[in-house]
Structure 1
Amino acid sequence: MSDRQPPTFVRRTVLAGAATGLLGGIAGCLSASPEGSPDLVLINHNENPVTATVSVTNSNGETLTSTELEVPVVERNTEPNASIDDVFESDGQYTVSVDVTDGPSATEELDVTGTDDDSDSHSIELDGGEITFS
């Protein structure tokens, strides 16, 4: 007699192992942003670099940062062109103002969560005369 396992048992073991590995591999991808993500990312969809002043205030009206950033254009406009790290102190509502030199300006209230593990990231997209927050 042979000590070989039936083929169905081996196939099930391989499939179960592959499924477990796949789920484990993508588990971190299911969060909104990976741990350690920048708090704010700026994406420049324009043809030329821009200079933008970004100000963030908390719910008490305290200015947490007011930073002038050079926002270059990169080949793939899905990558952040400039970022601001560690500006959100805790979960809550923040006011973010963006003023592009010789361009548009906009202000938005952002609801911020995920500050405990630094997993929440918001984007500011600059496209022509429009500024979009997400």
Structure 2
Amino acid sequence: ELNSADSAQLVRLKGIGPVFASRIIKYRNLLGGFYSDYQLLEIYNFPEETFIEIRRYINVDTTVIKKIRINYADFSDLLRHPYLEKADVEKIGRHKEKFGPFNSVAQVLVMWPADSVKKNGLRHYLTCR
């Protein structure tokens, strides 16, 4: 299970050595957890062949994802997330200043185009609670 595996468990997978195990854990921590095994392909230099080889041996528990409380997170908290850039965080801040807290995640996501990869990824990491 990708969201709870330690480096010793990850290196047991074919093609995963200490370097990739470390990158997987680091990226998982930055994200707040994986929502899909395909997110491994977002890791620097992660070989697609390795992903294809290990995919049948891994799963993802999305219930353990650490969500960002969008109405309470400060600028630096938001900026730490790999899916958010400075311009995105500034846009979120301006919206909160102008209109107050967000009422739903959908209200946040409307800031990006419907087919945006960023929008599709972020929806797993935000909450208004």
Task: State the TM-score bracket (shorter-chain normalisation).
Answer: under 0.3
Structure with greater strand share of residues? 1
Calculate the TM-score normalised by the size of structure 2.
0.25
Structure with greater helix share of residues? 2
Between structure 1 and structure 2, the one with the greater Rg is 1
Calculate the TM-score normalised by the size of structure 1.
0.24
